[in-house]
Chains A and B, each alone.
Chain A
């Protein structure tokens, strides 16, 4: 005996997944592309204009960004609630996509914060730093 209101509607679920997947992946791609196109300037600043290591670091951070965010996007794909009609599907999807885009925004600002911090650290003269370390060692 199946009562219709507790049966999971698999077709609607499948449609929801196929809507969610491209949106999440394209959002990640767009954010990562914009971020790391503009990050190269920061990297060149941090490594004092050394082209090879700056672009390497940029690439490595880009890979890390993709891995973390696509991993998270796929991890939260599963819908555990019972979905019976399109209204519920849209409500659940908007929750998921909204949450994911807030997460992406936080990651974006975290990366920007790291770049600004790196730039600040590289601007500091090393002589000043070593003096500090020397005084620490002598104590």
Chain B
């Protein structure tokens, strides 16, 4: 058993947990307007939003805990710091890339919808 590794796991899990939950909550609060634009039925939009939030939590917390499996053993304090930051950086970066691709999907969906409605006229 390596004490530094345990410390690293604890700090890493706390950081990723807080970031994941906080980002999810912000997206949940602000994303509802876009889903309402898309679906136009308020109750369905609400439930879709909730399901999306839960899916997001499962995906990201699962990914965060899988990362622990491939962690090398830590011998020094500077190693501890750099390992924690590299591993959390991978989680945060993948969150960011997912987030921007979601924004792109929303943008493309709206563009297609505008296109269809203009054809119907």
Contact = CB atoms under 8 A, between A and B. Distances in A.
Q: At the interface, is chain A mostly helix, strand, loop or mixed?
A: helix
Interface in A1-33: 10, 13-14, 17, 21
Contacts of A130: 118-119, 121
Interface residues of A, number: 32
A75 B90 contact: yes
B23 A74 contact: no
Nearest to A121: B111
A52 interface: yes
A105 B115 CA distance: 35
Contacts of B27: 60, 63
Contact of B93 (A21, A68, A78): A68
A14 B81 contact: yes
Contacts of A71: 89-93, 95-96
Nearest to A47: B33
Contacts of B5: none
Interface of A: 10, 13-14, 17, 21, 52-53, 55-57, 59-61, 63-64, 67-68, 70-75, 77-79, 126, 129-130, 133-134, 137
Interface of B: 23, 26-27, 30-31, 33-34, 37, 76-79, 81-82, 85-86, 88-93, 95-97, 99-100, 103, 114-115, 118-119, 121
